[in-house]
């Protein structure tokens, strides 16, 4: 599965006229490679432009970061497409290295200001971005998904919604206040860090959230243990991170909420999350 081919006028605006695009597949967000540039469809203009502006100058030790390619008129986004330099590599099950990338990346993003769009609630009609906004809030608000009101089940679409929501509510009772301050983090590291032999890891985009840095590492660990074949010891190997068990707890809650709300969720996802939730509860 891949996205539609980028139109000729988009390629032209990014200075790629006459270059035949090659599909990279959904592992690269449905992007198309045109020489040394990747054109990717944009789900949210504000987030795409923000990411491009940040990646234009951000320097992270030991990380190859895709740089934006501006259009001939200076724009980061043209007709729903963005352009970035191609970063060689593919996702690999090098889970501890992904967590290490998280720590280095978030040391560099700690000084970034909170984008205005991160304070905005989901708005109808929902798109994918709104699902993740609502799920993120569910992990932190006093009553999970309360911000959606009494009609929360109108948004919940998975075949095992009731199980997901029930586990989410139970986990919420185990939360304790955390003191680690929020900052700008990349909340989708699992499957997006690119490896190529001995080269430094690569990253093609930043998915922004305003949460404590250990939470972002926790999401990567929860994903890896739930679906990525990571050993259970990964949960404990990083327990020197601030308030680690509580960060893992909120990471599991976040993924449960995504599972309940996302229209493309499948029943195969929940068992892995349930197992990880049980492991995290033992750490509390």
Burial readout 69-95 (b: 16 or more C-beta within 10 A, e: otherwise):
bbbeeeebbbeebbbbebbebeeeeeb
Q: In terms of residue numbers, what domain contains 101?
A: 95-283
Per-residue pLDDT of the chain (284 residues; tens, 9 = 90+): 567 899 999 999 999 999 999 999 876 888 999 999 999 999 899 999 999 999 999 999 999 999 999 999 999 999 999 999 999 999 999 999 999 999 999 999 999 999 999 999 887 667 889 999 999 999 999 999 887 766 566 666 666 888 999 999 999 999 999 999 999 999 999 999 999 999 999 999 999 999 999 999 999 999 999 999 999 999 999 999 999 999 999 999 999 999 988 888 888 889 999 999 999 999 99
* Both tokens assigned to 15: 């200075």
Same domain assignment for residues 139 and 245: yes
Distance of CA 153 to the CA centre of its chain: 24
β-pair type (202-203, 193-194): antiparallel
Q: What CATH number is attached to the domain comprising 220?
A: 3.90.1200
Same domain assignment for residues 114 and 232: yes
Q: What is the pTM of this model?
A: 0.94
Q: Spell out the residues 6+ positions from residue 170 whose beta carbon is closer than 8 angstroms to its own.
A: none
Of 66, 85, 104, the one marking the end of a domain is 85
């Amino acid at each position: 599965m891949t996205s539609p081919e980028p139109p000729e006028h988009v390629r032209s605006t990014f200075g790629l006229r006459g270059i035949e695009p090659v599909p990279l597949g959904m592992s690269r967000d449905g992007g198309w490679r045109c020489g040394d540039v990747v054109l990717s469809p944009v789900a949210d203009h504000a987030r795409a432009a923000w990411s491009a502006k940040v990646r234009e100058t951000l320097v992270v030790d030991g990380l190859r970061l895709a740089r934006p390619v501006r259009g001939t008129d200076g724009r980061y986004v043209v007709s729903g497409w963005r352009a970035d330099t191609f970063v060689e590599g593919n996702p690999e099950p090098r889970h501890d290295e992904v967590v290490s990338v998280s720590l280095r990346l978030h040391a560099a993003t700690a000084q970034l200001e909170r984008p205005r769009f991160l304070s905005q609630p989901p708005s109808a009609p929902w798109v994918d971005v709104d699902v993740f906004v609502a799920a993120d809030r569910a992990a932190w608000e006093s009553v999970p998904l309360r911000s959606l009101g009494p009609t929360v089940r109108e948004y919940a679409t998975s075949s095992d919604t009731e199980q997901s929501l029930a586990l989410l509510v139970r986990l919420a009772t185990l939360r304790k206040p955390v003191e680690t301050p929020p900052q700008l983090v990349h909340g989708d590291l699992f499957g997006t860090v690119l490896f190529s032999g001995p080269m430094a890891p690569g990253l093609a985009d930043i998915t922004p959230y305003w949460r404590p840095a250990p939470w972002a590492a926790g999401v990567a660990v929860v994903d890896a243990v739930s679906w990525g074949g990571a050993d259970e010891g990964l949960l404990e190997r990083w327990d020197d991170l601030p308030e680690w068990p509580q960060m893992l707890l909120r990471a599991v809650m976040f993924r449960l909420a995504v599972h309940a709300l996302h229209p493309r969720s499948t029943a195969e996802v929940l068992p892995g999350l349930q197992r990880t939730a049980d492991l995290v509860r033992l750490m509390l």
